[in-house]
């Protein structure tokens, strides 16, 4: 076991494969954790990366004899995992965050009541013209056909209704 703060030296020649995974884990987890903690600066991230690296090595354990240096492979997987996390964090930081508008359902009730009160102040034909044109989005031709009047009359009624609403009074 190395002392804390000591630089980790990885062997460069081919190393004999360990006998079993448990032994390998017990021998290497401390060094790997220290290295990852030094790299990330966060114990939780270091532990997560260490766990992911050991899981990837365990998945390949049946072919461990084909890996030149299992320890170097383990460290490489862990450090690559950290690099991938950093890249993902940078990509996420560049992505704009859509800000959802939080609506209070009581505000909608109040708005609906206000609109109802404002429309109640209009003459019935002005109200019908405004509702068809502005609320439902019909053109003056379609609104005229629905109301049974000329398109110019629909436009005039809507203009008069808007004027009443701007003044905030009842000229009905």
Q: Would residue 48 count as lying in a domain?
A: yes
Q: What is the DSSP letter of 18?
A: P
Over residues 106-165, the pLDDT tens digits come to: 777 888 888 888 888 889 999 999 889 988 889 999 999 999 999 999 999 999 999 988
Distance CA(170)–CA(122), nearest Å, equals 7
> Are 159 and 126 in the same domain?
yes
Q: Would residue 3 count as lying in a domain?
A: no
Q: Would residue 122 count as lying in a domain?
A: yes
**Domain span at 145:** 118-167
CA 116 from centroid of its chain's CA atoms: 38
pTM: 0.47
Q: What is the CATH number of the domain that holds 155?
A: 1.10.10.10
> Are 90 and 128 in the same domain?
no
Distance CA(105)–CA(124), nearest Å, equals 29
Using 50, 70 and 90 to split pLDDT, how confident is the model at 105? confident
Distance CA(39)–CA(8), nearest Å, equals 12
- Buried-state track 106-116, b at ≥16 Cβ within 10 A, e below 16: eeeeeeeeeee
Q: Would residue 86 count as lying in a domain?
A: yes
Instruction: Indicate the number of domains in the chain.
Output: 2
Over residues 58-80, the pLDDT tens digits come to: 998 888 888 888 999 999 999 99
Q: Would residue 107 count as lying in a domain?
A: no
Closest CA to 47 of 81, 6, 2: 81
Q: Would residue 7 count as lying in a domain?
A: no
């Amino acid at each position: 076991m190395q002392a804390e703060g000591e630089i980790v030296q990885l062997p460069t020649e081919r190393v004999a494969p360990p006998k079993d995974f448990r032994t390998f884990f017990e021998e290497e987890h401390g060094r790997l954790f220290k290295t990852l903690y030094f790299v990330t600066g966060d114990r939780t991230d270091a532990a997560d990366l260490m766990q992911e690296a050991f899981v990837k090595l365990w998945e390949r354990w049946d072919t461990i004899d084909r890996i030149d240096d299992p320890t170097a492979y383990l460290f490489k997987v862990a450090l690559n995992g950290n690099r991938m996390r950093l890249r993902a964090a940078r990509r996420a930081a560049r992505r704009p965050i859509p800000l959802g508008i939080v609506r209070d359902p009581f505000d909608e009730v109040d708005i609906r009541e206000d609109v109802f009160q404002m429309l109640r102040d209009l003459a019935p034909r002005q109200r019908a013209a405004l509702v068809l044109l502005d609320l439902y989005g019909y053109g003056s031709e379609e609104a005229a056909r629905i109301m049974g009047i000329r398109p110019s009359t629909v436009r005039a009624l809507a203009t008069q209704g808007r004027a009443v609403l701007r003044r905030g009074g009842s000229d009905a």
